[in-house]
Amino acid sequence: MAHTGDHYYVPHGSHWPIVASVALTIGVVGAANWFNGNASGQMLLLLGLALVAFMMFGWFGTVINESLKGMYNEQVDRSFRQGMMWFIFSEVMFFAAFFGALFYARVLSVPWLMGADFSTHEYLWKGFGEAWPTNGPGNVGGDFQNMGAWGIPAINTLLLLTSGVTITLSHWALKANDQKNTVLWLAATVALGATFLGFQVYEYVHAYHELNLTLGSGIYGSTFFMLTGFHGMHVTIGTIMLLVITLRAAKGHFSPDHHFAFEGVAWYWHFVDVVWLGLFIFVYVI
């Protein structure tokens, strides 16, 4: 049967998914052992991650090849797009859980501990009167200073906002069939993402060494590091994905009207951007 563009492409059996399952399992078994204090865990975790990377190369490589061979018609393209959209939505909900924790602590549990709920304060935490940011009545993790908004975080906000612009410029260039500018603007986006990450690493070092602000600094430290940490992880993944499509753009993989990978990554990047804005406002500013 011919593989023209007007048929929905249903692939042949593939061994990548089972490789992926095995890789993930090895990774989590490693991580679990590591958490339990078994030295072998870290090696296993690394092995799992390496296998995941290998699997991604293989799986995405196959998909790219098929795409270049023209096996995907418009409908297949639409499936990919919708799939990506719903994936991003699921990521949004993942962050929602952590934002929910932040709001719950700030609006409910900390005020209760401080006396909004009379008996709790009166009978258990009489001395506690510290508003946000707080490490709780147990002074968990010791005194700390919170992270100001207007230094590095503000710069990082600008960086990410700018990167949202550069990736859009790249997209416009791609639509105008201007390969040189597509690649250029993409590279700029990668650079901005990487700079963001660099600053964030610096910020973390600063927090741990100078502010005594750690994951263990009560609810403030918990929400601060989990939110910014998961965000940072997503920026890392996003930057890697950007790097990949930069290389692919340089190889001429994308045409003005056929570039799902580009758009998928761009959406993802915008999502990371929007989450950051939420973070900036609710974690740093307010």
In the window 88-107, what residues touch other proteins (CB under 8 A)? 89-91, 93-98, 100-101, 104-105
Dihedral of CA atoms 94, 214, 283, 242 in degrees, nearest 10, equals -60
Tell me: does residue 209 bind other proteins (CB under 8 A).
no
User: With CB under 8 A as the contact rule, which of the stretches 166-174, 210-218, 237-245, 253-261 interacts with other proteins?
Assistant: 210-218
Token pair for 9: 């492409």
- Report yes or no: 99 and 278 within 8 Å, Cβ to Cβ: yes
Residue (of 190, 189, 228) closest to 208 by Cα position: 228
Question: Given the complex with other proteins, which of 118 and 210 has the nearer CB atom?
Answer: 118
Question: Given the complex with other proteins, which of 85 and 176 has the nearer CB atom?
Answer: 85
Return the residues of window 53-82 that contact other proteins according to CB under 8 A. Answer: 59, 66, 71, 73-75, 78-80, 82
Residue 117's alpha-carbon distances to 114, 120, 124, in angstroms, are 8, 6, 11
Tell me: does residue 126 bind other proteins (CB under 8 A).
no
**Minimal distance in Å, beta carbon 237 to other proteins?**
15
C-alpha R_g of the chain: 23
Answer for which of 39, 123, 127, 210 binds other proteins (CB under 8 A) is 123
Return the residues of window 16-35 that contact other proteins according to CB under 8 A. Answer: 16-18, 20-22, 24-25, 28-29, 31-32, 35
Residue (of 236, 243, 235) closest to 262 by Cα position: 243
